[in-house]
Each structure stands twice: as structure tokens, then as C-alpha cells.
Amino acid sequence: LVKHLRMDREEKYEIVERWFLKDLEMIDGKEADTDNPFFDMHFQEVCHLEAYSCASKYTFVRTLNKLNETYLKKDLKIVNFDDTYLNDDSIWSSNNRDCLVLMRICFYASNLLCLSLCPLS
């Protein structure tokens, strides 16, 4: 857990707490249907965390999941996350999924804008 400190023009990052991936039992995204940065990591105790954004929360969980698959190969429970954005086998699979999701949203928004500007006959 890293704490970001800003004093005048100087920025510092301080390590507040450390955990081992092998001790992580479950990651709970709290609500899969809403765009929120809050999630819980279950060790022997539950740690309530807030990411910078929902996209950074998903990126963090994808990274933990990939590290687990590569090194530990244990059954890591990930609950209350949208599987579409967690799995590598999804349509939007790439190294930079967050940009692809944003592009998809922009595409739909531009379609709605075009449709709203079309005159009705």
C-alpha cells in the first residue's frame, strides 16, 4: 500500500503496508455493476481499499491475477468484478483494455450523436 504525499511542488510516495500474494484469499470488487474504485482484499483480515479510478482497480486486479497464474497457480477468488474486463479471452483482450473500452464508449456516443442530429421524416 503506497501513500502519495504532495508538499508544495514536491511529490513523495511512502510505503505504508506490504502483503504477500500467497496470503491473499479473495478480492471483492463490492459492486460489479457500478463504476466505483472501492474494493476489499481478504487476507487474515479484510483490507478496505480505494483505487485512483475504476479502471485502475481493474488493472490492479488483472495484474494480481496474472501474477498468481504465473507464480503461485492457486485458486484466487475474485468476486463482484465484470469478467469481461478481467479475462484474456474476452473480445476486448489486449495489453491496454482500458483504452479499448473507452474507444467503444466513444463509438457508441458518436453513433447516438449522429442519430440525434438526423432529421425525422
The values of phi and psi at residue 18, to 5°, are -130, 145
Rg (CA), the chain: 19
Confidence at residue 87, expressed as pLDDT on a 0 to 100 scale: 74
Confidence at residue 69, expressed as pLDDT on a 0 to 100 scale: 92
User: Is the pLDDT confidence value at 92 over 60?
Assistant: no
Q: List pLDDT tens digits, range 18-57.
A: 899 999 999 999 988 888 899 999 999 999 998 888 888 9
Q: How many residues does the chain have?
A: 121
pTM of the model: 0.66
State the burial class of residue 36 (Cβ atoms within 10 Å of its Cβ: 0-12, 13-18, 19+).
middle
Confidence at residue 97, expressed as pLDDT on a 0 to 100 scale: 57
Alpha-carbon distance of 25 to 19, in angstroms, equals 12
Confidence at residue 121, expressed as pLDDT on a 0 to 100 scale: 58
State the burial class of residue 29 (Cβ atoms within 10 Å of its Cβ: 0-12, 13-18, 19+).
buried
Measured over the CA atoms of residue 9, residue 57, residue 15 and residue 95, the dihedral's sign is negative
